[in-house]
């Protein structure tokens, strides 16, 4: 038949890996461990990606709020938008605090 080689390098300690029963058991054990590692790694990376995308979305919202604040300040020649500007600054501060938590 030829020389048997462990493809994944995993060996179950209590089983002779080169026996008729031990070789397939070690093979499937290695395949199982690799698949568990793969799913754990991809789910962790997926979670991190979602967190980064959420943070980017929140920073984009902050950017829009700052742009609105700038527009309010520029168009406030007569001082009538003082309350709205104050409210916008409060909203920006609250959102910034949420991002830091």
pLDDT the model gives residue 9:
78
pLDDT tens, 31-48? 999 999 999 999 999 999
Cα 15 to the center of its chain, rounded Å:
39
pTM, whole model, 2 decimals? Answer: 0.59
Instruction: Examine the pLDDT at 23 and tell me if it is beyond 70.
Output: yes
Instruction: Examine the pLDDT at 2 and tell me if it is beyond 90.
Output: no
pLDDT tens, 43-100? 999 999 999 999 899 899 999 999 999 999 998 888 888 899 999 999 999 988 887 8
- Own/partner pairs for 88-96, CB < 8 Å, 24+ apart? 91/65, 92/62, 92/65, 92/66, 95/58, 95/61, 95/62, 95/65, 96/62
């Amino acid at each position: 038949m030829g020389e048997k080689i462990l493809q994944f390098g995993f060996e179950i300690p209590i089983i002779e890996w080169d026996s008729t029963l031990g070789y397939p058991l070690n093979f499937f054990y290695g395949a199982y461990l690799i698949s568990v590692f793969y799913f754990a790694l991809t789910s962790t990376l997926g979670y991190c990606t979602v967190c980064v995308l959420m943070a980017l979305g929140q920073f984009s919202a902050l950017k829009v709020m700052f742009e609105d604040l700038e527009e309010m300040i520029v168009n406030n020649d007569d001082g009538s938008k003082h309350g709205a500007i104050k409210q916008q600054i409060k909203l920006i501060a609250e959102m910034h605090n949420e991002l830091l938590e």
